[in-house]
Amino acid sequence: MALAATIFKAAIDLSDIDRHHYQHYALTLARHPSETSERMMVRLVAFLLHADAQLKLTKGLSETGEPDLWLKDMTGQTRLWIEAGLPDARRLAQAAGRADHVVVYAYGRQALQWWQKTEKALAKLRNLTVTIFPVSVTQALSEMAARSMRIVCSIQEGQLYLTANDETVHMDLLACRVRDGDS
C-alpha cells in the first residue's frame, strides 16, 4: 500500500512591491512521502515569487511529466514552468521546448556543484533562469514548516522577507541568481 501525501495548509499575505501584486492566498500543499519539508518550502517560496491567479502547484514528484508549478494561459499553452531541486539538463531542455519560460530554484549542499556540472549543457536555453537558494535559508524555511501555517511575505527590490511562527527568513534574490533567462 502506497503512503499518502501529508497535507499542509498555508494562509499567506503577500506584498510583492516589485510586481505591484498584493494578495491573500490560502494554499494547500501536498507533501509527497519522499519529499522533505525543505523542498516543500522551496516550492512555496517559488509560488510566492511568481504568484498569479493562473499559477498552479502540480502533482510534482507524483507526476514525472509535470513541473512543481506551472502557469498556463487560456489556450493551454505553458507560459511558465518551475522546477525545485536539481533537475537534469535533458529534462530542462524538454521543458524549455514546451514553455515560454523555465525557472529552476536549486537548493541543497550539492546545488553549486550541480550548476557547475550542468551550466554548459544549458547554455543554449535562452528561456531558462536558475536561482540557487543558500542552504542556511532553505534550512530556516524547513524549520518554519507546519501543518497549518500563517505566513506574511514581502518582496521589494529583490529582497524576500518571509515571516511565520515569529521567525523571519530574509533572502537577497538577486545574489542567488546564477543565470537570468531574460538577458
Band (62; pLDDT cuts 50, 70, 90): low
Tell me, yes or no, whether 149 lies in a domain: yes
Is residue 99 predicted with pLDDT exceeding 90?
A: yes
User: What range defines the domain where residue 48 resides?
Assistant: 6-14+34-157+172-179
In a domain, 19, yes or no: no
In this model, does residue 74 exceed pLDDT 60?
A: yes
Instruction: Tell me what pLDDT residue 60 has.
Output: 62
Beta strands 177-179 and 167-172, pairing class: unpaired
Domain count within the chain:
1
pLDDT band, residue 3 (cuts 50/70/90): confident
CATH of the domain at 54: 3.10.640.10
Q: Which residue has the cell 490560502?
A: 26
Report the side by side order of strands in the sheet with 78-84: 55-57, 69-72, 78-84, 99-106, 128-132, 177-179
Least Cα distance to 6 among 44, 37, 27, 43 occurs for 37
What pLDDT does residue 2 have? 63
- Segment 19-27 shows an average pLDDT of 97
